[in-house]
């Protein structure tokens, strides 16, 4: 979170975890490592492996170098690692000022201050009781969570959870998890619920939950879903086409609506001591992350070229030491207190520590202003799958389909509308985004076809041709007072009257 950005460490990165794999190195705390997709064919309980950890004498570090040097001698996510890390992290993992963090009092305040998600935002009062922002039931807590999440069709639904200390996964009900949390002693078990994406199944929480306003308005998947619903209505009202063609088109739209990725709505329940190793959320998604109960601590590094090179070494198994130590001067510590909502930019490298039992709601989303990041990370994720370093379930399943459909049903339509309204300067301003779409989708179209693809290779090529032709046909009009072809002294925004008749 995931977020959600918490997700599995190293080889199992992503966001929104579905079911962790058998060999779990550390606890994946994210809605981000694979989101809400359960593999019902996987065995309910993975055999517990005996893990014997050699005792390493604990020290009292006198400086950051000693702190990281000792961490390197410990197994990541082990009892010794967590005890030592939890005791000294505040003192030694505390770089300040590396990444802009904008504090906002309310979601409305955030809407006034935000840019195109190039900063971290921390909203102090993250819930909107009246209005259109993030909203959850007022009595949603550890005691009521099982009632809010009961699927009306399956009241004993089980979810994959990780015990990071024992490196095993197990399916259990939310009721069982809460019972373990209530009887928690000496951290003998540290369980995390990672896979609960509740968009698709009926529950009280789904009925009463409302996404943050920005996610609803700017998330590419939300916009695509709205466009497909509108297209379905248009097809239902269309009397010009023959019925066979209409039925085929309706079936295709229905398929897209059924299969559209859902990574917006995760519930994370984490025991104290949970630790999520370093990762980038799948497809470089952005994250919103609201702490309902407890506290979460994020350690975030920018996606600079140097940092990403080091991260990719870790992903390929080429790093000589834990990446946390390698980037020790890059981590900025972000504390998300109870009631706070954090917004993380796309593509940032991060890891997460949970100092107390925590209940979180969050989600992952794609943003059109960060296509370069989304396509680049999706490519890295795909390479990791082919190399056997990552399971496909830990990637953004449906990314390729969604991007082609978004261009066809949202982006090209919007450009056509701008041109119809003679707002060519606005349309022209979208060219950088169109170029990123074109380059990214062209690479995706060269990937071997899959039975899950929504579009054939020929249909993908036609979408790319349409995208290219729409922008090639744009003729930017000269602003008022200038002759056609005359260069501006400085760019202005907005569509201004043309002098031509």
**Which tokens is 320 given?**
């000589």
Tell me, yes or no, whether 254 lies in a domain.
yes
Supply the pLDDT for residue 379.
Answer: 92
Residue 500 lies in a domain: no
Q: For the chain, how far is it from start to end, CA to CA, in angstroms?
A: 55
Residues 326 and 348 in one domain: yes
Give a yes or no: residue 487 inside a domain: no
Domain annotation covers residue 449: yes
In a domain, 54, yes or no: yes
Is residue 108 domain-shared with residue 254, that is, in the same domain?
no
Burial 417-444 (b: 16+ CB within 10 A, else e): ebbeeebbbbbbbbeeebebbbebbeeb
Nearest-10 Cα torsion for 274, 200, 120, 316: 60
Same domain for 439 and 355: no
Looking at the fold, whether 120 and 143 belong to one and the same domain comes out as: yes
CB 266 within 8 A of CB 363: yes
Query: Tokens 């409302």 label which residue?
Result: 210
With the CA atoms of 165, 167, 168 and 172 taken in that order, what torsion angle do they form, in degrees rounded to the nearest 10? 40
Has residue 490 been placed in a domain? no
Measure Cα distances from 68 to 264, 327, 354, 433, 499 in Å. 35, 10, 19, 41, 66
Residues 119 and 29 in one domain: yes
Are 274 and 350 found together in one domain?
yes
In terms of residue numbers, what domain contains 69?
1-211+264-369
The strand ranges marked E within 189-285 are 191-197, 266-270, 275-279
In a domain, 166, yes or no: yes
**295 in the same domain as 157:** yes
Residue 197 within a domain = yes
Residues 290 and 252 grouped into a single domain: no
Q: Are residues 271 and 225 in the same domain?
A: no
Closest Cα to residue 15, out of 311, 363, 277? 363
Query: Tens-digit pLDDT profile for the chain (501 aa)?
Result: 544 444 444 444 434 433 333 333 333 344 344 443 433 333 333 344 444 556 677 799 999 999 999 999 999 888 899 999 999 999 999 898 899 999 999 888 998 898 878 899 999 987 766 666 899 999 999 999 999 988 656 768 888 888 878 767 899 999 999 999 988 776 678 998 877 899 988 889 999 999 998 898 899 999 999 999 999 999 999 888 788 899 999 999 999 999 999 999 999 999 999 988 899 999 999 999 999 999 999 999 999 999 999 999 988 888 889 999 999 999 999 999 999 999 999 999 999 999 999 999 999 999 999 999 999 999 999 988 988 888 888 899 999 999 999 999 999 999 888 877 777 777 777 888 999 999 999 998 887 788 899 999 999 999 999 999 988 876 655 444 444 444 444 443 333 333 333
Based on the domain organization, do 307 and 344 belong to the same domain?
A: yes
How many structural domains is the chain composed of? 2
CA-to-CA distance for 98 and 331, rounded, in angstroms? 8
Cα–Cα distance for residue pair 256/290, rounded to 1 Å: 29
């Amino acid at each position: 979170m995931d977020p959600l950005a918490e997700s599995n460490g190293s080889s199992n990165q992503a966001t929104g975890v579905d079911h962790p794999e058998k060999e779990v190195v550390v606890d994946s705390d994210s809605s981000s490592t694979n989101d809400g997709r359960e593999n019902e064919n996987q065995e309910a309980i993975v055999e517990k492996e005996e893990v014997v950890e050699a005792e390493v004498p604990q020290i009292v570090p006198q400086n950051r170098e000693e702190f990281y040097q000792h961490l390197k001698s410990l197994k990541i996510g082990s009892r010794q690692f967590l005890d030592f890390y939890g005791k000294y992290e505040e003192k030694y993992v505390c770089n300040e000022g590396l990444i802009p963090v904008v504090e906002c009092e309310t979601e409305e305040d955030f809407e006034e201050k935000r840019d195109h998600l190039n900063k971290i935002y921390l909203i102090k009062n993250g819930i909107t009781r009246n209005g259109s922002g993030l909203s959850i039931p007022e009595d949603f807590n550890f005691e009521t969570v099982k009632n809010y999440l009961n699927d009306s069709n399956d009241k004993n639904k089980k979810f994959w959870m990780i015990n990071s200390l024992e490196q095993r996964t197990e399916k259990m009900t939310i009721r069982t998890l809460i019972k373990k949390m209530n009887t928690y002693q000496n951290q003998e078990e540290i369980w995390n619920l990672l896979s609960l994406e509740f968009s698709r199944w009926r529950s009280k929480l789904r009925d009463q939950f409302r996404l943050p306003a920005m996610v609803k308005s700017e998330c590419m998947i939300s916009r695509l879903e709205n466009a497909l619903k509108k297209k379905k209505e248009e097809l239902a009202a269309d009397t010009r086409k023959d019925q066979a063609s209409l039925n085929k088109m309706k079936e295709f739209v229905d398929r897209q609506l059924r299969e559209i990725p859902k990574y917006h709505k995760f519930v994370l329940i984490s025991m104290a001591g949970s630790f999520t190793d370093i990762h980038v959320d799948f497809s470089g998604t952005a994250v919103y992350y609201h702490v309902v109960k407890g506290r979460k601590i994020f350690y975030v590094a920018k996606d600079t070229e140097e940092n990403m090179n080091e991260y990719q070494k870790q992903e390929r198994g080429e790093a000589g030491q834990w990446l946390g130590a390698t980037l020790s001067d890059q981590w900025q510590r972000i504390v998300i207190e109870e009631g706070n909502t954090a917004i993380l930019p796309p593509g940032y490298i991060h890891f997460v520590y949970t100092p107390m039992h925590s209940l979180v709601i969050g989600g992952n989303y794609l943003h059109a202003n960060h296509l370069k990041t989304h396509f680049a990370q999706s490519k890295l994720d795909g390479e990791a799958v082919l190399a056997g370093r990552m399971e496909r379930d830990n990637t953004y399943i449906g990314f390729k389909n969604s991007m082609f459909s978004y261009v066809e049903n949202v982006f090209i339509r919007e450009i056509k509308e701008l041109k119809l309204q003679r707002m060519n300067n606005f349309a022209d301003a979208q060219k950088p985004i169109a170029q990123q779409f074109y380059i990214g989708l062209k690479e995706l179209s060269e990937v071997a076809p899959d039975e899950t693809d929504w579009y054939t290779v020929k249909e993908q090529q036609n979408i790319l041709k349409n995208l290219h032709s729409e922008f090639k046909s744009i003729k930017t009009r000269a602003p008022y007072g200038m002759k056609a072809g005359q260069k501006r002294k400085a760019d202005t925004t907005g569509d201004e009257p043309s002098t031509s008749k």
